[in-house]
Amino acid sequence: MARYYENTSTFNFSWDQVACGYWKRYPNPQSTHVLSEDTWSRQVKDGCLHTKRLLTKTNRVPKWGER
């Protein structure tokens, strides 16, 4: 089961710094719950970057995600 999630944030750093940090989040030694990360699609629309990613995790689905 998949759910849609959208988030908008403003960072007081250059675009290069924010993008580099965001794309290098996983995998890392502190986030052992994330097993893998795959980029499904990426496109720029109206000057905005839209990315769909698939993460494989070890954690259970949160309560709000259960049916």
The span from the CA of 26 to the CA of 29, in Å, is: 9
pLDDT over threshold 70, residue 1: no
Rounded to two decimals, what is the model's pTM? 0.48
> Can you give the pLDDT at residue 43?
93
> Can you give the pLDDT at residue 13?
92
The span from the CA of 43 to the CA of 51, in Å, is: 7
Predicted confidence (pLDDT) per residue in 3-58, tens digit = 777 888 887 999 889 888 887 887 788 888 888 888 889 899 998 889 888 888 88
pLDDT over threshold 90, residue 61: no
The span from the CA of 37 to the CA of 57, in Å, is: 9
> Can you give the pLDDT at residue 55?
81
Q: Are 36 and 55 in contact (CB under 8 A)?
A: yes
